[in-house]
Amino acid sequence: MSNLASSAALAQASPSSAPSGHAIELVGVNKWYGEFHVLKDINLKVHRGERIVICGPSGSGKSTMIRCINRLEEHQQGTIIVDGIELTNDLKRIDEIRREVGMCFQHFNLFPHLTILENLTLAPIWVRKMPKKEADELAMHFLTKVKIPEQAHKYPGQLSGGQQQRVAIARALCMKPKILLFDEPTSALDPEMVKEVLETMVSLAEEGMTMLCVTHEMGFARQVANRVIFMDAGQIIEMNEPEPFFSNPQHERTRLFLSQILGH
Amino acid sequence: MNDFTTWDVFRNLLAAVPWTIYLSLIAFAGGAAVSLILLSLRFAFPRVAGRPVRLYVQVFQGTPLLMQLFLVYFGLALMGVQTTPLFAASLCLSVYSSAYLTETWYGCVLAVPKGQWEASSSLGLKHWQQMLLIVLPQALRLSVPPTVGLMVQIVKNTSLASIVGFVELTRASQIIANATFEPFLAYGAVALIYFVICFSISLCGRHLEKRIRI
């Protein structure tokens, strides 16, 4: 704990100094929606290259927590340090962090008025100032990686859900992020499309991408996660390696939750 | 007394069509220009400009165009400022349409799903880039049907300019009705002409909608 406190103090003293040892650090993070206390004293350190799966009942704050990491939501108390940069209201820092943190959403959120290729090249061109030709090549590289290069000139509406989510992953990858956040990436998909998206995520995990993934795909958690987190009512209830987490959960609420989602 | 054929009635009415169209174009262009300025202010400085813009919209949506015309045309004359019917009609119609266009287009921007903002934020785009590259193109598509509807309203509203003596379609039909003693023919014909203009606009709108749909 003292170690945690001192590193937080260090980061506060020189927030934009050289990256600390952790990819992400949340120290005493609290958040309220009006009266409602969504995040209660969240402490979490994510190592570089670590894969973390977050599960929990709906409304437990798991999405809110990862959305705080790239400032889609603002936290009111505590410290969030991403890649050595402390999140404050400073827009420049928020931009800096967002350039390094990719995100995939439950509903994909592709840009419907742009082709798949344009969806992928938009941020490299406008944010990274990459020449268009180079961005096109980069986009095709990642489209090939998610196995849909032939869809490059279609519009998102013409693709299946699974394909759209893979495009969304490729879009995030085109920014060459150091960290990827997944917010229930397979929840809006038909069952037969879940597999293709999970396969893509597994291959990313194997390449050593730092990943935080909110999901109820426990098979995925067992296969790739270094740690599994269970959240309930805005708190981290339990955090452990997958093997002990699933075979011997310490907390009653975790046991109940696992029996509910694994029971059928 | 002269005899007027049906063709004479139509011929004289058709001669007034360009004025109705000019007035509509001025009202739409003026209204669009004003509302674009108001919208930019509202989005760029929501805290400062939000309230005054909303007030502007409420005032001009909440008072009859006819009263606005009277106030500008006769009111200004009372204050010693001479206006022409064309100027008064153009000014009032522009302001009136700008109120509706501002509200409609504002709604279109808000109608773009929140997820589009979030996705473009997560990619590190700046606010103006999100607006320009992601939100406005989608809002533009959403805005076609209501904007076409407003254009039709504007065309019909130009008939009020007849009240201050501006000779467009409606005023022309009054003159003809008085000269021919055949009000049913004159007003029937003018209604038909309005319908043809408005229906053409709707058709163009539908075509445009199909072309830009994704």
**Secondary structure E strands in chain A:** 22-33, 36-47, 51-55, 77-82, 85-86, 101-104, 179-183, 210-214, 227-232, 235-240
Query: Is residue B1 assigned to a domain?
Result: no
- Residue A82 CA to residue A71 CA, distance in Å, equals 11
Number of structural domains found in chain B: 1
Query: Is residue B113 assigned to a domain?
Result: yes
Question: Which residue, among A87, A90, A109, A115, would best test binding to B if mutated, counting the most B CBs under 10 Å from its CB?
Answer: A109
The pLDDT of A22-39, averaged and rounded, is 94
Out of B122, B126, B133, name the one closest to residue A70 (CB).
B122
Spell out which residues of chain A touch residue B115, defining contact as CB-CB under 8 Å.
105, 107, 109
Here the CATH number for the domain that contains residue B18 is 1.10.3720.10
Which pLDDT tens digit goes with each residue over B116-125?
Answer: 999 999 999 9
Query: Is residue B137 assigned to a domain?
Result: yes
* Residue B160 belongs to domain spanning: 6-212
Query: Is residue B30 assigned to a domain?
Result: yes
- Residue A99 CA to residue B21 CA, distance in Å, equals 51
The pLDDT of A161-174, averaged and rounded, is 95
Structure confidence at residue A94 (pLDDT) = 93
B116 shares contact with chain A (CB less than 8 Å): yes
Interface of A with B in 167-206 (CB under 8 A): 168, 171-172, 175, 181
Tell me the pLDDT band of B54, cut-offs 50, 70 and 90: very high
Which pLDDT tens digit goes with each residue over A224-262?
Answer: 999 999 999 999 999 999 999 999 999 999 999 999 888
Q: Which domains does chain A have, with CATH numbers?
A: 22-262 (3.40.50.300)
The pLDDT of A44-70, averaged and rounded, is 94
Structure tokens at B103: 């509200």
Out of A72, A111, A112, name the one closest to residue B121 (CB).
A72
Among B138-147, B177-186, B204-213, name the most confident range.
B138-147
Distances (CA, A) of B188 to A197, B6, B156: 64, 11, 15
pTM of the model: 0.84
Torsion sign (Cα): A109, B110, B205, B34? negative
User: A231 - beta bridge partners?
Assistant: A236
Q: Which residue has the higher pLDDT, A175 or B7?
A: A175
- Residue A250 CA to residue A252 CA, distance in Å, equals 7
Structure confidence at residue A231 (pLDDT) = 96
Structure confidence at residue B2 (pLDDT) = 60
Residue B10 has pLDDT above 90, yes or no: no
